Amino acid sequence: MRKLLSLLLITAVTFGAAAQVKEIRVLLANHPYGELLKTAIPEFEQATGIKVNVESLQESQLTTKLTTEFATNLSSVDVFMTRPLQEGKMFYKNGWYEPVTGYDFADFPKNAMDVVTFGNKTYIVPLVTEWQVLYYRTDLFKAMGIKVPSTFAELEAAAKKLNADGVSGFASRGKGAAAVTQLSSYVYGYGGRYLDQGKAVFQSKAAVDGIRFYGKMLSNYGPQGITAMSWENIMPLFQAGKVAMWTDASVFYGQIVDPSKSQIPAENVGIANVPAGPKAQNPFIVVSWGMGVAKQSKKKDLAKEFLAWATSADLAKRGMMVNITAARNSAWTDKDVLATVNKGLVQTRAFAAKNGFPLDRPYMSAVGEARDRIGELVIESIATAGASKNLDAMAKDKAKKVDELLEDTGEYGK
């Protein structure tokens, strides 16, 4: 009896240990690329014998979860999806990313590498590139004889014409902090920026003009309650045929035309460049998601094996087939991909890659709070249809607050 028990114990311990060695914990985002990985992970498990424990979270909750786990030094996370522009600086400063070594980065564009490299080391592998586009209803455009707007003035005229009973002429995120990324291309169109050389510059006349235009468009032609709406509120409206034009990230195309979710047939959805502002046509084009290995991981070899697979050119190509816009260059020259993927995506990417700006938010450690501050301006602008008399003073005040945040984190003027 005793022998049997000890035998059982030994087997349990060995198997337990074996299972422990060949197991990793991966945190993914609720994002099309995360969904792609979830369906593909069984193949990885079969090929390598590594068991992958996956958790998926909504993007801001993912940041929160990673931060609390890493900050308390109790994390068992091995690999995670991460947003370089949102948390990259902060995670790097806190030493939470393991440097990615021995990885071939030749397939990635230079401006993508810029935001994942700190000092002379790379910490994140870029996964997804997003740029801003204008989604529009080709059927409504045709019915009213409107051509695709190429300037802000034409955008406004089109929105005015399309804005009819039950259909909003134009939509874009209006929910404070969430709107900051989509507002950026409008600010750039007027020649403004959020930050310049480590200082807040969104109080400049150019930037404020961009914020006013954005507020005017949403107030006059946007859906009801737009100041509480982000993409997750606008997409269902677009899918239900309640919105005629919508500017947001390119990544949503796949979901917009998904026949199981949308009442609008794919052929009625057009994609175009965000129109040119009075000064420029610089849509943002950013590395929205990447993947990293946790510094605290105790299984870095397994983690790196997973990282190499999850960020491979093969998976990037598979993503492209379902309109997930990969960061890798090779994914955009593949013949199969070019035959399948929406032409509008290919064209707008080519335009943004050439003319775009590689940031869509104030790029700093305290970005969450800075976005809230700029978000206050968005809400004020929408509430007054862009005519607020306070907006200039408010912008100055918020810029000062953002400068203080930059000082707090030692990034001011850098």
- Is 94 a residue that touches other proteins (CB under 8 A)? yes
* Assigned token pair, 183: 């507002």
Q: How far is the CB of 210 from other proteins (least distance, A)?
A: 19
Question: To which residue do tokens 């802000």 refer?
Answer: 152
SS3 content of the chain, % helix, strand, coil (to 5): 50, 15, 30
**How many residues in the chain?**
414
- Is 237 a residue that touches other proteins (CB under 8 A)? yes
H helix runs in 96-228, sequence order = 110-114, 138-144, 152-162, 176-189, 205-221
- Kindly indicate which of the ranges 75-83, 168-176, 250-258, 315-323 contains the residues binding other proteins, using the contact rule CB under 8 A: 168-176
- Is 183 a residue that touches other proteins (CB under 8 A)? no
Measured from the CB atom, the residue of 32 and 222 that comes closer to other proteins is: 222
Say how far apart CA 156 and CA 149 lie, in whole Å: 9
- Is 175 a residue that touches other proteins (CB under 8 A)? yes
Q: How far is the CB of 379 from other proteins (least distance, A)?
A: 4
Say how far apart CA 281 and CA 161 lie, in whole Å: 23
**Pick from 55, 109, 118: nearest CA to 91:** 118
Rounded alpha-carbon distances, angstroms, from residue 320 to 40, 106, 128, 253: 14, 19, 10, 12
Question: How many chain residues touch other proteins (CB under 8 A)?
Answer: 35
* Contact between 193 and 201 (Cβ < 8 Å): yes
Binding mask 73-92 for other proteins (x = CB under 8 A): -----------------x--
Measured from the CB atom, the residue of 352 and 366 that comes closer to other proteins is: 366
- Kindly indicate which of the ranges 18-26, 212-220, 261-269, 369-377 contains the residues binding other proteins, using the contact rule CB under 8 A: 369-377
In the list 379, 391, 395, 402, the residue contacting other proteins (rule: CB under 8 A) is 379
Q: Is 143 exposed, middle or buried (0-12, 13-18, 19+ CB in 10 A)?
A: exposed
- Kindly indicate which of the ranges 111-119, 141-149, 293-301, 372-380 contains the residues binding other proteins, using the contact rule CB under 8 A: 372-380
In the list 30, 56, 60, 347, the residue contacting other proteins (rule: CB under 8 A) is 60
Rounded alpha-carbon distances, angstroms, from residue 92 to 2, 88, 101, 139, 244: 53, 6, 15, 47, 41
- Is 99 a residue that touches other proteins (CB under 8 A)? no
- Is 42 a residue that touches other proteins (CB under 8 A)? no
In the list 144, 164, 228, 266, the residue contacting other proteins (rule: CB under 8 A) is 228
- Is 292 a residue that touches other proteins (CB under 8 A)? no
- Kindly indicate which of the ranges 60-68, 281-289, 346-354, 387-395 contains the residues binding other proteins, using the contact rule CB under 8 A: 60-68
* Assigned token pair, 383: 């509430």
Q: How far is the CB of 334 from other proteins (least distance, A)?
A: 39
Cα angle 339-344-346, degrees, rounded to a multiple of 5: 60
In the list 10, 17, 93, 387, the residue contacting other proteins (rule: CB under 8 A) is 93
String of DSSP letters for 131-143: EEEEEEEHHHHHH
In the list 223, 356, 358, 362, the residue contacting other proteins (rule: CB under 8 A) is 223
- Is 409 a residue that touches other proteins (CB under 8 A)? yes
Can you give the C-alpha Rg of the chain in angstroms? 23
Measured from the CB atom, the residue of 137 and 299 that comes closer to other proteins is: 137
Say how far apart CA 239 and CA 209 lie, in whole Å: 31
- Is 236 a residue that touches other proteins (CB under 8 A)? yes
- Is 384 a residue that touches other proteins (CB under 8 A)? no
Cα angle 306-117-179, degrees, rounded to a multiple of 5: 90
* Assigned token pair, 347: 């064209």
Residues within the interface to other proteins (CB under 8 A): 60, 64, 67-68, 71, 90, 93-94, 168, 175-176, 223-229, 233, 236-237, 240, 242, 365-366, 368-369, 372, 375-376, 379, 383, 408-410
